[in-house]
Structure 1
Amino acid sequence: MDLTIKNEANIHFMIDEIKNKLQLVNRDVLKASAFSTERYEELHDIYKMVKRMPSFSIRDMEAILEELRALRTEE
Structure 2
Amino acid sequence: MNLNEATNENLAYILKEIASQLRVVNESIMDPDDYNLEKYDDLKALYDVLIQKGQLSVSETQAFIQELSSIRK
Identity of aligned residues (%): 23
Mapping for residues 14-29 of structure 1, pairs under 5 Å: 14-29=14-29
Deviation at 1:27, TM superposition (A): 1.8
Please identify runs of 4+ aligned residues in structure 1 that moved more than 6 A: none
CA apart distance, 1:53:
1.2
Unaligned runs of 5+ in 1: none
The Cα offsets for residues 40-68 of structure 1, whole Å up to 9 and x where unpaired, read as: 11111001001111212211111111101
CA contact (8 A) 1:8 1:36 kept: no
Question: Who is 2:33 aligned against?
Answer: 33
Q: How many residues are paired up? A: 73
How high is the TM-score relative to the length of structure 2? 0.90
Stretches of structure 2 that go unaligned for 5 or more consecutive residues are none
Q: Give the aligned residue type for 2:41.
A: E
For 1:58 and 1:36, locate their aligned partners in 2 and report how far apart those are by CA, in whole Å: 27
The offset of 1:5, in angstroms, is 1.0
CA distance in 2, matches of 1:72, 1:24: 15
Letter in structure 2 aligned against 1:45: A
Counterpart check, 1:52 vs 2:56: no
Name the Cα RMSD after superposition: 1.1
| Aligned-partner Cα distance in 2 for 1:44–1:15 | 9
Higher helix share: 2
